[in-house]
Amino acid sequence: MLALVAVISLSALPRSVQAQVDPAVFSDIQATPKGTIGLGLVGAELGLIIPSVSGLNEAWALAVFPVVGATGGALAGYFALDKPGREKGSVAVLVVGLVGVLPAILITVKGVRRERQDRWEPTPQIDLRTKKEQRAFETAEAGPGLLRRSRSGLRVAAPGMTFSRRPPQDAETARMGGLRDRTEMRLSLASGVF
């Protein structure tokens, strides 16, 4: 029944429908401020990535260079992409700028963390002469877990176990002659140097 109503309604439409659309509306696409924002984002991303990759991980550098890059990128985006008559490519630049935000942040955080870890991590005061001594030191430094993440990778070792005696949790259980003391065993499954 529904199909019959649809066929009748479609056949009742006039055969030639002409839309009155002004062609000038579709020919003028306003790009502003897509190019400005897109190249501004790209400049800020480059301002984050370049100093952190090159080892300049000071706080002032991570604050100043992205601002300078964003300013330069926004100016270039306006004059190259957003001025009247130059609207080509502004949407593509905006997409590239938006897509690059997360990778730029991750690359910067990884570079800063690695450089600061190398600078602030204490060096062992023990004189390790052989590779066997080095492995034993790294395994001990990684902690008591079954899976231990050391500086040189993931290792499997005998887990650390602790035993403790605990009194019953509530007084009624103790009064009724229930469990007097509980013995707990704790087993470390994972530990490491992060």
**Peptide bond before 14: cis, by omega within 30 degrees of 0?**
no
Provide the whole-model pTM.
0.47
Domain check: are 107 and 172 in the same one?
A: no
Is 74 within a domain? Answer: yes
- Token pair for 95: 């997409």
Domain check: are 170 and 103 in the same one?
A: no
Residue at a domain's end among 120, 147, 166: 120
Is 22 within a domain? Answer: no
> Starting from the edge strand earliest in sequence, which strands make up the sheet with 147-150, in order?
153-156, 147-150, 190-192
Domain check: are 42 and 105 in the same one?
A: yes
DSSP string, 9-34: HHHTS-S-------HHHHH----TTH
Torsion angles phi and psi, residue 143, rounded to 5: 105, -175
Residue at a domain's end among 120, 152, 170: 120
d(CA 90, CA 37): 9
Domain check: are 104 and 40 in the same one?
A: yes
Query: Domain residues for 73?
Result: 30-120
Task: Report in angstroms the alpha-carbon separations of 177 from 79, 164, 165, 184.
Answer: 86, 21, 17, 19
Domain check: are 97 and 56 in the same one?
A: yes
Is 126 within a domain? Answer: no
d(CA 122, CA 151): 13
> Mind listing the pLDDT tens digit of every residue in the chain (194 residues)?
555 445 455 555 555 555 555 555 555 555 578 889 999 999 999 999 988 888 787 888 888 999 999 999 999 998 888 877 776 788 888 899 999 999 998 888 887 776 666 555 556 566 767 888 887 888 788 888 888 888 777 888 888 888 887 766 666 665 665 556 677 888 888 888 76
Q: How many domains does the chain have?
A: 2
Residue at a domain's end among 95, 120, 145: 120
